[in-house]
Chains A and B, each alone.
Chain A
Amino acid sequence: MLRSLLASALLLIATGPATPATEDTANVGPFLYTVAKVFEPMAWVHGADRFPSGAQIFVSDDSGRRPLVRGFSVSADPSISFDGEKVLFAGKARASGPWQIWELDLAAGIPRPITSGPEDCIRPFYLPDDRVVYARKIAGRFVIETKELASNKTLDLTYIPSNAVPTDVLRDGRILFESSYPLGAEGNPEIYTVYSDGSGIESYRCDHGPLRYAAKQHSSGDTVFATSRGLARFTSARAQQVSISGPGGEYAGDIAETATGEWLMAWRPDAKVSYQLMRWSPGADDLKPVMVEQGANIVEPVLLASRPVPNRHPSGLHDWSNANLLCLNAYTSKLQIPAGSIHSVRLYTRDDSGHPRLLGAAPVERDGSFFVQVPSEQPLQFELLDASGKSLKREAGYFWMRRGEQRVCVGCHAGPETAPENAVPQILLKTTTPADLTGSGAASAGGH
């Protein structure tokens, strides 16, 4: 007990005073926030700590402010249960230990550990059906993992050689996460989605460009995120991000939407100063301070309220060790592939030293279709070849498929805005058996 109190006191010293210099929380309602002396929102890209100097979650409500939990060396990443009665957070009981995921029953007031292990677990979120999702560092890299709270059964969702961290759970049940672009390679943060069984990995949109991070879905259904040029959103209607016209400065993302429609967000005028908690009525010219504190970042605002439960994803994975992928038409692409040029497709994985390893090749039909069986749960990369074996296009990054997953691709980098044309792919008129590209059997490279 004494040790816990001491740790809390040390944290308060590290994060500055609990009482902000400026405070205007009127009409915001109860909310949580994280206070940190140093906050590096994109440190996860390199597997580093976003709160290298510690952090602590506070509660703001009618009775004032107070730490969410006591007895923790550090705490951050609060996330509220759908009924508004529990909080998931990442915390360290000891400053020298790893971040772990904890759950606090707000009525009972006593946190319980959700994860354990030698490396960090961060960014927890609730899933339907009493599951949670978070990022666990494995061998120095963040992997997204789910856990059934009743059975403690865990499931890895990401299988790429780069860090991946969840940022929200969409109402349609998909997990919103951030990783580098190209996926599985070094690059800027980008936003992706995956089903809660690890299938269906894809980029949220294909207008890759500026870095994007800390995305949250708002009540409108839009996904709002921070970029290097301010805030932006993805709407259901558009294939490209839509810039949000707001005051200049830097935004930390993770924007909370209040009951009155205001946005609660961490902002700073430039990188020389700390993030402060501001409120903004979308479209307004200025931000209004909610909490401003010299020398401390106030980030990760989360409303302490119930919210709709996202849809549960009913996993349709088969009990197979491999996965099947059907490409309907490789010519359906943003990449401008000349008609009739594609002859075959190669599949690579990535070895432990980071080098591509060829798994096999398969024919591509005249209509651009191919059907392949691929190894599951490892990095995969396609390359399209012409009749002479020359590379036409090759993926820059990697993706994966879960064991037993069957997936249909509209094309090769077709973009999520492209629905498939209704036609029987020619490959299925030839065979309903996928070409074996698992690396374990003979593969055919002959095309049309």
Chain B
Amino acid sequence: MAARTPNFEISHAAFRQLPKLVGVLAVTLLAIAARPASKQSGALLKEHYLSPIEMAFSPAGHVLYVVCQDSDEVRVVDADSAKVVGSIHVGHVPRGIALSPDARRLYVTNAWSDTVSVIDTTSREVVQTLPTGFEPTGVVADKSGATLYVANRLSSDISVIDLTSGQEIKRLLAGRGASYLALSPDGKWIYCTHIYPNPGAIRSEPDSEITVIDTSTRRVVDRKPLHNVAGLFHVASSADGKLVAVAQLRPKNLIPLAHVEHGAVFGDSLTLFGDDVGSPVQIPVDELDRYYALPWGVAITPDKSKIFLTTAGSQSVTAIDVPQLLKTVRARRQPFANDLSASAEYVTARIPVGHNPRGLALSPDGKRLYVANRLDDTLSVIDARTEKVTSTIDLGGPKNVDALRRGERLFYTADFSFQGQFGCANCHLDATIDGLEWDLEPDGFGKDIVDNRSLENLAGTEPFKWNGGNPDMPTECGPRTEKFFFRSQSFTQQQLTDLVTFVYSLPYRPNRYRLANGELTPAQERGKSIFERTATKRGAAISEANQCTYCHSGPKYTNQKEIDAGTGKLTDRSPVIDVPQLPNVAYSAPYLHDGSAKSLEEIWTVYNPKDTHGVTNDLTKDELNDLIEYLKTL
């Protein structure tokens, strides 16, 4: 059993200061990392941004709590004066927020600390820190206030925490990438969504689920299947509980990406379920010539007249007329998720807001909608009736837009793809992966199916692309992306440099499998011996080129070479592939260049019959488990 030890504690003091320009930092590491892109002109400024991502309203609607992901705090906004009136420091990379039923406690998930900060709303101080699973994201308290549920993205489960004792009493198995939660108004059910699809066979349609928990038994009672969906985000229920809406992506990863028009790469949509619609139904929000990328945050007005949806890649909020929507759903007898003209029947407005809008919150009276513009450090305030932005609240972040933030905006926007259909972040969800395999066009239709690779700490892992065809990141993100992904005019040289600077700045997520003292568990030690062995169990020498450490060498466990490990498929033009880096390999399933291995184990038990990808067929199941336990620590 792997150890779960947060050896990544961050000094809280480092985050206590208000996010303002703290000085000009010659970020040498970034400058180095950004090679071989054109260098940023002048010294890189490293601003300390807030990055608001989620919000919660006090019951009376006077106070708005705003989770700021990059400053590790909750900013307290007086909704009446639209002023920031306080700040509460929490753990690292806070991501989710919920109020207790009595509004005396605020729960904030700290994704990179694997904790929940419990905040006293009166004193505005953290009074308790609760441990969770890996990368806690969504959080909700049950109606009694006795139990807290936390969706853990990396461990794909839901922590059930007894708030009286502060103890996690059980973990519920969720779908992959469990992320967002909503409590039904009657308190009976909790709905959980997931940003990654569940593991499936290679080149099969991605399937996701909505996990349903019965709060009376604290058990999973239903898994609503969502076919051809990968990437579920916010889930919200109407006040009467009869309509639940989930923001989601419908990728077209199985179709050769030969062009973009007609929703050929992504469909942006909602899934609806509940008594109003019966079985889950997927409804599109795109148009024929314009797309509303990365549907993310969902809110339903108290009177159930409207649904508001942030489209994080399109810098906008989509307003949907619920009666019209229900009329459409009831009138259509066949699925219509692929009908790009359907949204004309129920979308009433596309409301421009700031960069990368994420969470949204309706005032308790339903009159005002607040939208967190993550990459602007602002909140847009929208009149829910007129569907117009009435004001913008400055949360107090730096005013200077540095290269990293410029690059991050480029990463998340869909503006550069044809008709704004998708951006980098569509496949690299929250700058990670999407768990999918794609059929790209340049190599031919149905050929060279490729798994989506992690972006963590990429410097020193060049070349890129599974065949090693791109020597550096500017090549990877520049003309290749423009011509074969976006199919539209893309980045200027400066924009490309900014984008590459941002991509190279993405750090490793905390590794949860390493012990705090740096030592290995016995299983990990045994796995390390296997990883580094030079002879089989029978004593036969393993050729140097077939030893794990030959290809997976160096600080990032890649020799940066292209090799034939015998993992090629009939549809591959060449069996030679780029040796992937291994750090945090536990998080990036599926595996192999084409994503054919659903798990690390399958790399050897299914796809290494002739010991061409290292010698592993002499290993027992337990020994393979040991090897995997070690790999997880890298």
Taking Cβ atoms with an 8 Å cutoff, the residues of A that contact B are: 128, 172-173, 200, 205, 221, 235-239, 311-316, 318, 324, 326, 328, 371, 406-408, 410, 416-425, 428-429, 431-432, 434
Contacts and interface: CB of A to CB of B under 8 A. Distances in A.
B258 interface: yes
A423 B290 contact: no
B228 interface: yes
25 contacts: A172-B419, A172-B488, A200-B259, A200-B261, A237-B344, A238-B288, A238-B344, A239-B288, A312-B489, A314-B482, A314-B488, A406-B256, A408-B259, A416-B261, A418-B262, A418-B340, A420-B255, A420-B262, A422-B250, A422-B254, A422-B255, A423-B205, A432-B446, A432-B447, A432-B571
Contacts of B262: 410, 416, 418-420
Interface in B446-480: 446-447, 479
A104 to B, nearest CB: 27
B445 A406 contact: yes
A243 to B, nearest CB: 15
B441 interface: yes
B288 A416 contact: yes
Contacts of A172: 289, 418-419, 488
A424 B571 contact: no
B341 A239 contact: yes
Given A324-B445, A407-B258, A422-B251, A316 B487 contact: yes
Given A406-B441, A424-B255, 12 more contacts: A200-B259, A205-B288, A239-B288, A313-B488, A316-B442, A371-B445, A416-B288, A419-B264, A419-B284, A421-B338, A422-B254, A428-B256
B358 to A, nearest CB: 25
A311 B264 CA distance: 19
A220 to B, nearest CB: 11
Given A314-B487, A416-B261, A408 B255 contact: yes
Task: Give the top 6 A-B pairs by smallest Cβ distance, nearest first.
Answer: A419-B263, A428-B446, A237-B344, A239-B341, A417-B341, A312-B489
A316 B341 contact: no
Contacts of B287: 235-237
B343 interface: yes
Nearest to B289: A236
Contacts of A200: 259, 261
Contacts of A416: 261-262, 288, 340
Interface of B: 203, 205-206, 228, 250-256, 258-259, 261-264, 267, 284, 286-290, 338-341, 343-344, 347, 418-419, 439, 441-442, 444-447, 479, 482-484, 486-490, 571
Contacts of B252: 419-420, 422
Secondary structure dominating the interface of A = loop
A177 to B, nearest CB: 16
A234 B322 CA distance: 25
Given A237-B343, A417-B340, A418-B262, A432 B445 contact: yes
Given A236-B287, A432-B571, A418 B338 contact: yes
Nearest to A237: B344
Contact of B338 (A238, A419, A432): A419
Contact of B483 (A316, A326, A418, A421): A316
B340 A326 contact: no
B254 A221 contact: no
Given A128-B489, A221-B290, A422-B254, A417 B259 contact: no
Nearest to A318: B442
Contacts of A314: 479, 482-483, 486-490
Contacts of B251: 422
Nearest to B227: A422
A232 to B, nearest CB: 16
A416 B338 CA distance: 11
Contacts of B442: 316, 318
A313 B251 CA distance: 23
A428 B256 CA distance: 10
Contacts of A311: 418, 488-489
B254 A424 contact: yes
B290 A406 contact: no
B408 to A, nearest CB: 22
A205 B288 CA distance: 10
A318 B347 CA distance: 39
Most buried by A among B439, B441, B446, B486: B446
Contacts of A312: 488-489
Contact of A432 (B206, B258, B284, B444): B444
Most buried by B among A236, A318, A422: A422
Contact of A428 (B338, B344, B445): B445
Nearest to A431: B446
Contacts of A318: 442
B483 A417 contact: no
B445 A326 contact: yes
A347 to B, nearest CB: 17
A173 to B, nearest CB: 6
A422 B206 CA distance: 9
A236 B290 CA distance: 6
Nearest to A408: B258
A368 to B, nearest CB: 14
A316 B441 contact: yes
Most buried by B among A238, A315, A417, A418: A417
A311 B284 CA distance: 26
B205 A422 contact: yes
A435 to B, nearest CB: 12
A324 B256 CA distance: 12
Contacts of A237: 287-288, 341, 343-344, 347
A173 B416 CA distance: 12
A424 B267 CA distance: 17
Contacts of A429: 446
A200 to B, nearest CB: 6
Contacts of B446: 424, 428-429, 431-432
Given A314-B479, A316-B483, A326-B445, A417 B288 contact: yes
Nearest to A128: B489
A416 B260 CA distance: 12
A406 to B, nearest CB: 5
B527 to A, nearest CB: 36
A73 to B, nearest CB: 39
A419 B251 CA distance: 11
Contacts of B259: 200, 407-408
A236 to B, nearest CB: 4
A313 B486 CA distance: 10
A419 B256 contact: no
B170 to A, nearest CB: 35
B228 A421 contact: yes
Contacts of A221: 289-290
B573 to A, nearest CB: 9
Most buried by B among A236, A315, A406: A236
